[in-house]
Amino acid sequence: MSNLDKESLRSLHDGQIDQFKDRLKIAIGDESVRSFSKRCDISESVIRKYLAGSHPVLDKLPRIAEATSRSMEWLATGFESPQQTLGELSDEFALIPGYTIQVSAGHGALNPDSLEPSRYLAFRRKWLKFRGFAEKDLAIVWAKGDSMEPTINNNDTLVVHVGRKVPQDGHIYIFRDETQLFVKRYQGVVGAWRLISDNPMYTPLDIKKEEQHQFEVIGQVVHIAKDIGD
């Protein structure tokens, strides 16, 4: 570590930790950014953006907390309540299962056989209550492709309400056709479902009534989390 880095860390430990980038620098310590990024499964370029002053989206914070053995409260605010127990954290946060599935925002992506959660992402229970969501009705997948840009970009995190299986006009849903999962905006037309891509370069797909039994509505996309930059 350079003398500059050592002095920076020393000043941070002396109390100058108002910003997330400073707390992250302390938490990473002597470990290289490349090594740390691999451990928390976040790209090196994104970690460097955080160190330069960007703030993580909600689903990234639990990964950083786990990799650094620091609490999410301290990483997010700089303050920590010693008396806060795991039970109290559980009361504050709900862990929503995330699946290693890329839902196509293009021409279709394969749905893997295994549906075991690959990770859990933390959401505040107050937010779930505000949105009227039940924890058991939510699942997380990741987008692949560009057909839903600018609304949904490649690798965006999608929170899906799997209890909403009757599509309503104007909302975004995940559909399954045999082994393919894809995300589209729904519009009801006479005798058909119209599945619309927000990217105007893609033409709408009309599913006639007699063909709709071949499709399953997995759920409604109710929240999109994305990184700014690479």
Segments of the chain with pLDDT less than 70: 1-18, 58, 80-90, 105-115, 228-230
Q: What is the pLDDT of residue 74?
A: 79
Backbone φ, ψ for residue 56 (5° rounding):
-75, 150
Continuous segment of H or E residues that includes residue 130: helix 125-131
CA distance 2 to 203: 55
Q: Which domains does the chain have, with CATH numbers?
A: 3-83 (1.10.260.40), 89-225 (2.10.109.10)
Q: What is the pLDDT of residue 83?
A: 47
Residue 61 C-beta-side C-alpha neighbours within 13 Å: 21
Omega prior to 204 cis, within 30 of 0: no
Q: What is the pLDDT of residue 2?
A: 39
* CA-to-CA separations, 186 to 174, 196, 218, in angstroms, rounded: 10, 6, 13
Q: What is the pLDDT of residue 105?
A: 62
Structure confidence by residue, pLDDT tens digits, 168-178: 999 999 998 87
Q: What is the pLDDT of residue 108?
A: 45
